[in-house]
Structures are given as C-alpha cells and as structure tokens.
Structure 1
Amino acid sequence: MGLSFAVLAATLTHVALFHGREIWQQTKATLKDEYADVHTRIMKKNYDVVPQWWFHTILVIVTGLALLTCEGFGRQLQLPYWGVLLAVGLAFIFTLPIGVITATTNQQPGLNVITELIIGYMYPGRPLANITFKTYGYTSTSQAIMFLSDFKLGHYMKIPPKSMFVVQLVGTIIASSVYFGTAWWLLTSVENICNPSKLPEGSPWTCPGDDVFYNASIIWGVVGPMRMFGRLGLYSKMNYFFLIGLLAPVPVWILSLKFPEKTWIKLINVPIILGGTGGMPSARAVNYMCWFAVGIFFNLVVYKRYKGWWVRHNYILSAGLDAGVAFLAILVYFTLQIKDINGPTWWGLELSDHCPLATCPTAPGIQVEGCPVFH
C-alpha cells in the first residue's frame, strides 16, 4: 500500500519534470491548430476529425446515467451525487500523467488504491459506496487510456477517426450489455454462487477474483482508512510514502540536467521502479526470474551485438513472448491440468504467503491457541 501511494505521487512529479514542457508545447500547438506530426497532417488532409461535441455529449450522457444509478434505485449503491462528480474529477486529473507513463513505458499506474483511500476517509462505513467510487474513478481512467490506445493505433493505420469513434461506441455498448446479462444470468441461475462453503467440491463457481473487491470493500469501506492509515490506526507512517514518491524523481531529474551527455539517466523511471517493487509481494519468484533472464540477456548481449536488429524487432519479440505464454497456457490446460496432472512444485511457486501468524489477533490481551498474546 505504501508503494502504491508513492507510485501515484511519483507519477505526477515525473511527468511534470520530464514531460511538462513538451505537454505545454503540444497543448499550445493543438489550440493553434499547428501540427508538426506528419501522421496528423495526413489524417487531417484525408479525413474529417471527430467533432468535440461528440465527446462532450457522451460525457454528459454517461455522467447523467451514473448520477441516476447512484441516486436512484433506492440509493442501494450508497454513493451520493458528489461522490460521482469527485470520481470523474479524479479521472480527469490523472488521465494525462498516467497516459504519459503508459505511452512511454507500457506500464499503467492505477487509481484503485487512492480512490479507496479518499472515499474511505470522506464516507466511512459504506462498503458499496467505496466500490462504486473506485469503479468510477479507477476504471474510468483505465478505460480512457485503452480508448486512447485504440485511437493511436487507428491514427498510425490511417483509419478514419469517425469510424474509430463509432466502432468504439458500438463495441462498448455490446460488451457492457453482454457482461451485465451474463452476470445477471449467473447470479440468478447458479445456486450458492461465490459461496465456497456451500458449493460442492471442485465447483468452478467460487469467484476467487471477486474476493479482491469484497475484501477491499471491507478494509476500505467498513473498517476505513482512518483505522488503518489515520490517527486511529497502526500504519499512519505509511502516509510518508506520498512524500517519498513526490520527491523521488527529483534527484534523477537534477542528474539528467547536470550530465546531459549521459542520456541513459533520463530513462530512469521512478514510478515504474516503485510500481515493479510494489508488485513483488503478489508475484512469485519465477515471474521476476523470467523477466531478469529475458530482459538482461537481450538488453545487454543482443542489443550491443545486434543493435539494428534489436531496434527493429523489439516489439515483435514482446508480442511473440505474450502470444507464446497464452498458447502454452491453453495447451497445458487441455493436455495436463484438465486431467488433474500437475507438475512438480518448483522453488518460488509456493502458494504460501510465508506469514504463518497472519490470522492471529493483534489486539492486546486476546488469547488464541498458537498465537502470541500482545500486551
């Protein structure tokens, strides 16, 4: 959690220091309708741009539907209108800096933790409000960047912008309708769905992924960040990670100015380093060993010896590795796992979190067999 705090703060500082001037120049060029990008000039010459009022209309409609969803239906979602507007505002503020990090590194920081933290402080004791606020804040940003990626691909492929807009809109309506219909059908047709204690052994309807949202609703919505990261909690020092993340990119930026001939200094991306470190507790050792083997080998050996080859085929290699993982996952499932044939347990793949006392109470004076008693 502390590293999650630091990543968001570092994202703002890093983008402001390393890309602030470029963003300002591009903004002025856009307002003056001056485009230096050859792709943009070709697109403007051959196709009509998407009118801004199309985007504004969609924004007004979906925001109105969100307000209706939260304020209507007996307020079952617990989130008031101001929570929806605040979530939309957070998405508006963070989409640009997170988009810059995503565009330059292909790694996307998320607003999931900060949204839970904010609404947990402002509106404690309401788990559904916490999840809803997180969805409108975090998911809006991630979906916006996904749509931007589609537009970028269409831009380079010279696809008409209006066609891209219509396809995205239709695809969104179809996908959301299918998702909603599927979820509704499963919840009403599968008895005891998402309740492992009442399901037969081997049932596929245990919903392990939904536990993440449920646990988050309890931790941030019911217990609340005040009792964890505030004056009533044990982890108030974690808030210093906001300051650490805010200041961490500054030394790198100063060094890049002091030694401009060392171009590699500008490639040190503090938000990505912090984000990768934060991913280690939930990942297993094999994830990082594979990354290390491939990344170090190809960067240090192949790059130096076959520099031109590496530049031309970098993205092809990345896509090939992703496709290989997906293909082998399907192959292993249908040939081995579906027949309950599992391989050996390699080092680094243990399911244990190596925290044997994680279920023990920490309140003073409570005695539980096998657990220490705190005083």
Structure 2
Amino acid sequence: MSPSNLCKQWKEFTWNNVKWKFWNDDGMREQPMGNEDIDPHYAQMLKYPDAPNSWYYATFMVSFVVAPVVIYKNDSTLPWWGFVIAVVLATISILFLGALSAVTNVTLSIRESPVSINMITGYLHPGKPMANMYFVLYSYSTFPRIDFETLFNPPCSRYDTKLPRPAFTAQLIGTLLGAILNYFLIISIIDNHRDTLLSVQGTNIWSGQQPQAYNSQAIAWGGLSHELFSVGMRYQWVPLSYLVGLVAPVPFWLVHRYWPKLRADYLFVPIIWWSAGSAGALTPWSCLTFMIAFASQWWIRTRYPSWFQKYNYPVGAALDGGTQVMVFSLSFAVEGATGTSHLFPAWWGANQGGNYDRCLYLG
C-alpha cells in the first residue's frame, strides 16, 4: 500500500462526505461489471447498504465523551490532554496497522502492543504506571476493535472504507456485549483464582502471564523509563533499536529494485522480526495453528482454488467463532471460572497433573 493510496483512502473520511440524512440514502454501491479480479467476499458485501459516515462520527463522539469519564472515575492518573494525544496516535496508527493487516493479514493485539506507545507515554507521564496502561489502551488497542477488512481493497469504489450496515451494527452490538461479559468474567476469575494468577507457574488451566506482562511493561516504561531506557542507561538500545528498524527494510528494497526477479519484496521485514521475537513462546497449539494456516493458504489455495475462494473465509470465521464460544463455555462449565471446576477425565491429551501442552515448568 503506497503512501498516495493511503492518503486517498484517508480523504474519504472527511466531513465533506458526511450525509447526515442517511435515511434518505440507500447506501448501495455501484456493482462492478466484468471485473474478474474482484474479491468474491467483497462482491457479496456490495449487496448490502453501507453504513454512512455519520454512524462512524456518532460512534466516535460518544466514545470520546465516555472515555474521559471512565479515566477520571477510575483515578487512572492519565490527564485529559494525555487522552487526546492517545487518540491522535490511534488515528495515525490506523493508517499503518490497517495497511499491515490488509497486506499480510496480521493484526496485532494488545498482547503485542508496540513498545513505541509505552515509550511515548513513559516520557509524557513519568512515574505513572497506571497512566501508561490507560494511554496504551486508548492509543493502540482501539484498532483491533474495528474490522477494516475492506479498508484498503484496491479494486473498490470510493466508499471502500465503509462496512455494510448489518456488519457495522453487529460489530457495535458485539463490542458492547463483549465488554460487559468480559468484565464480569474477569472479575469472577480473579475472585476465585487470585493466588494462582499471581503465582509464577500458574496451573494447567489458569495463568496470569499475559496480564502480568502487560503490568510489567507499564511499570518498566511508566515508572522507570528514565532510569532504564534513557541514553547511557542499562537498556538504552531498546529505544535506539527503532533506528535499526527504520534501516532494516532498505537492503531488501534495494535488492528488489535492482534484481526484481529475486522477489525480495516478498520478504516483509516487520512480520519476519515480529514472528522471530514470538518464536520463543511457541506451544504445540501454536504449531497446530501454523499447520492449519499452511494447509489453507498454500496447499488448498494452490491445488483447489475454487474451493478456497468459496469456503475458506466462512470456514475461518466458523473456526474463530466456534473457538470463542468454546472458551467461554469451558471457562464456566469445566475450568472453574465461578470457583468450582469439573475437569475432564485424565488421559494423555488432558494432562491434569501438569500443563495441557506438556510444557516444562520453570526450574
């Protein structure tokens, strides 16, 4: 996605294109004729009316008003101007993360929040770990909450940046319900498994590894940023590594420019480095996910392209949705989210005496 295309897409989200009387607009886009290259999923989406820009602006304004109330009500220590900066950074991040998601189908989440956000807020609000947490939430994790599947679709018309009205409504309702359910679920889990979540090992079911890592980031950058990461300090190369990251793609760009047959443009440096950094935390389940992705995106796609175009995305959505439903159900019915667990009988695939993935404990 070139900068010119990014700017073109971004200009569609301007006040000049707002149709406040959306009830007078059927929202239907012009059906492309004779375009064989158009994505079949996008072609189906064209049958539904678009959500007008006013829906997006209304959602943003309501969120922009509610967020400061939450910040001050919870004594987050994040000032109002810090929240405004966080929203501006989120707006800028959408351009680059949206392009990353569109080109590579990789959407980063809060667990892989870029250290750059922690670093910025660490120097803006030194000595305030809580402010660091809230800043990261409002500046970065807002991106995965919106489905930008059609945001950077090249063959589409001028309204590519919009979702169909049913999809917009479903995502909004799902976000609200998900927030409520997740809140009560996490409170129940913390109340019933607090000691386990605070332990280093955890159990074969419950672990506080991810929230503790998030908490550690907030303390390191929010409370000790100057002492640890400033020039001359122990971890000075963490922020300085951003200079290395800026230069890293240049050799591949030069190789592709002068020797295009080598297809160095297929080597996407940010994803390669991000995957290499995550390799140390791989589990058997991660390997199974990789095998499924490899079978779908290469073996089926190259040998059965018609089946891939027709069924790959529905099957992928079904796997994701089914997994989420199973996790929610198992948490309450089996794994004791409300306090009492009813575990499966012990066998090799249900290792009740240790980690389900049979990972080694820390020594």
- TM-score bin, normalised by smaller chain: 0.5 to 0.7
How many angstroms apart in 2 are the aligned matches of 1:171 and 1:294? 26
Q: 1: distance between equivalents of 2:251 and 2:62?
A: 44
Which residue in the other structure is 2:241 paired with?
Answer: 241
Q: Is the 8 A contact 2:132 2:218 kept in 1?
A: yes
Partner of 2:336: none
Measured against aligned partners, the alpha-carbon deviations of 1:345-365 in whole angstroms (never above 9, x if no partner) come to: 98xx4344xxx8xxxxxxxxx
Aligned to 1:279: 278
Check 1:280–1:254 CA distance in 2 against 1; reply closer, same or farther (3 A cut). Answer: same
- What does 1:10-25 correspond to in 2, within 5 Å? 19-24=2-7
> 1:161 matched to which residue of 2?
164
Query: SS at 2:360's partner residue?
Result: coil
| TM-score normalised over the length of structure 1 | 0.65
Secondary structure at 1:280's aligned position in 2? helix
Question: Among residues 170, 177, 200, which one is paired with 1:174 in the alignment?
Answer: 177
User: What fraction of aligned residue pairs are identical, expressed as a percent?
Assistant: 20
Whole-Å separation in 2 of the counterparts to 1:195 and 1:350: 21
- Which residue of 2 is the match for residue 334 of structure 1? 344
Structure 2, unmatched stretches of 5+, are 18-28, 157-161, 331-342
Q: More displaced, 132-141 or 309-318?
A: 309-318
Report the counterpart of residue 26 of structure 2 in structure 1: none
- Output the CA distance in 1 between the equivalents of 2:289 and 2:176: 38
CA contact under 8 A between 1:112 and 1:134: conserved in structure 2? no
Q: Residues 274 and 204 of structure 1: is their aligned pair in 2 closer, same or farther, counting only changes over 3 Å?
A: closer
Deviation sequence 1:31-63 (CA, Å, 0-9, x none): 99998966779866x554322121111111101
- Distance in 1 separating the partners of 2:189 and 2:292: 42
Q: Aligned to 1:91, what secondary structure does the other structure show?
A: helix
Give 2:134's aligned residue. Answer: 132
Q: Secondary structure at the match of 1:124?
A: coil
* 3-state DSSP of counterpart to 1:59: helix
Contact 2:252–2:267 (8 Å) recurs in 1: yes
CA positional deviation for 1:270: 0.8
Greater shift in the superposed pair: 93-102 or 110-119:
110-119
Distance 2:240 2:208 in 1: 35
Larger RCO (alpha carbons 8 Å, 6+ apart): 1
- If the length of structure 2 is used for normalisation, what is the TM-score? 0.67
Which has the greater radius of gyration? 1
Partner of 1:363: none
2:211 equivalent to 1:210: yes
CA contact (8 A) 2:350 2:356 kept: no
TM-aligned CA deviation for residue 340 of structure 1: 2.5
Contact 1:227 1:233 in 2 (8 A): yes
Letter in 1 for 2:6: I
User: Cα 1:217–1:343, aligned 2, differ >3 Å: closer, same or farther?
Assistant: closer
Q: Report the aligned-residue RMSD.
A: 4.9
- Return the alpha-carbon distance in structure 1 between the equivalents of residues 51 and 98 of structure 2: 20
- Paired residues in the alignment total 313
User: Helix, strand or coil: the match of 1:279?
Assistant: helix
**Distance verdict in 2 for CA 1:248–1:196, change over 3 Å:** same
The 8 Å contact of residues 284 and 357 in structure 2, kept in 1 or not, is answered as no
Please name the residue that 1:221 is paired with: 222
Q: 1:149 to 1:28 in 2, by over 3 A?
A: closer
Deviation string 1:249-299 (CA, Å, 9 cap, x unpaired) is 22222322223444x322111111111111123336995799599959x96
Q: How many angstroms does 1:194 deviate by? A: 2.2
Aligned residues of 2:196 and 2:203 also touching (Cα < 8 A): no
